[in-house]
Amino acid sequence: MKKSWSLSSESSLPPLDDDVESVCSDELLGSQSRRWLADLLAGDVSTDSGDMSAAGRDGLFVDYHFPVGKLEMQSGVKWKRPKELCPVPQFIVDGASRLDIRQGKLNDCWFLSAIASLAMHPSLLKKVVPLDQSFQDGYNGSFTFKFWQYGQWEEVKIDDLLPTQGNNLIYLSSPERQEFWSSLLEKAYAK
């Protein structure tokens, strides 16, 4: 969700004299989020724009605000971009369909049902999943989705780094190995 950040004495951030590691012990905060918080506390991150984004080593967007949680500690888990998983990734292959969804290790079948229903209503799908996104034209490593929350549409921007194990997606995937709209939508919802 878009949020405006301000640093004031009434802020929810901890005091600057606290140890960052003790402040970040919440298991929902991954190392990326801890790095972002440490940079914020050290004054190395600009908060004027409200956009807590940066480019990674490859020059593509990295969402340092996405909490990776316990995944970063599991053996064999690597965060990869779709371009590292297949030679020619596609956002959507031959239109979005309810058959584009294959459950992974998460027990979120309720969410998969919602995505399948969404795919059956093209006008609503276009509102949630902007279909003009791709891994070719204008690709910068970021994807944007919209969710209806508290009576308004909220935009969520994520990077396309997805958790993998043995070069396979851990969570939601598509039977079409080169299709990623449903996997990225699940990540946006998690954020």
Query: Which residues, in sequence order, are bridge partners of residue 51?
Result: none
Higher-pLDDT residue of 33 and 159 is 159
Residue 73's pLDDT is: 72
The residue ranking higher by pLDDT, 6 or 36, is 36
Q: What share of the chain is helix, strand, coil (3-state, %, to 5)?
A: 30, 20, 50
- pLDDT score at 56: 79
Residue 69's pLDDT is 74
Position 28 scores a pLDDT of: 40
Q: What is the mean pLDDT of the chain?
A: 79
More confident residue, 9 or 66: 66
Which DSSP string do the residues of 86-149 spell out, in sequence order? Answer: SSS-BS-SSS--GGG-B--SS--HHHHHHHHHHHT-HHHHHHHS-TT--SSTT--SEEEEEEEE
96 vs 7, higher pLDDT = 96
Split at pLDDT 50, 70, 90, the class of 157 is: very high
10 Å CB burial of residue 188 (0-12, 13-18, 19+) is buried
Of 74 and 143, the structure prediction assigns the larger pLDDT to: 143
pLDDT at residue 10 in the model: 39
Confidence of residue 21 (pLDDT cuts 50, 70, 90): very low
Q: What is the CA radius of gyration of the chain?
A: 17
* Number of residues that this document lists for the chain: 191
Nearest to 102, CA basis, from 188, 177, 165: 177
Structure confidence at residue 59 (pLDDT): 87
